[in-house]
């Protein structure tokens, strides 16, 4: 966090996504899957509200089922 802002890199965003697909995580963030892919490749800056929501969702991501 820099100067009170929630800054997330593309790599960190990918980690927060966990086992969710880009399509599913993008839908939860309220963005298009293509936009999420561009965030993850650091082609677009990640807006602070998206970063905050991603951090919240990352704590609730589905776990991998052992099978």
pLDDT along the chain (67 residues), means of 10: 73 95 97 98 96 91 54
CB contact at 8 A, 26 and 33:
yes
- Quote the pTM value: 0.81
pLDDT at 1: 45
Distance CA 24, CA 43 (A): 20
pLDDT at 64: 57
């Amino acid at each position: 966090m820099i100067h009170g802002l929630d800054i997330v890199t593309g790599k960190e965003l990918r980690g927060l996504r966990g086992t969710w697909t880009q399509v599913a995580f993008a839908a939860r963030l309220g963005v298009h899957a293509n936009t999420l892919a561009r965030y993850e490749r650091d082609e677009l800056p990640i807006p602070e509200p998206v970063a905050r929501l991603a951090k919240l969702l990352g704590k609730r991501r589905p776990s991998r089922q052992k099978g």
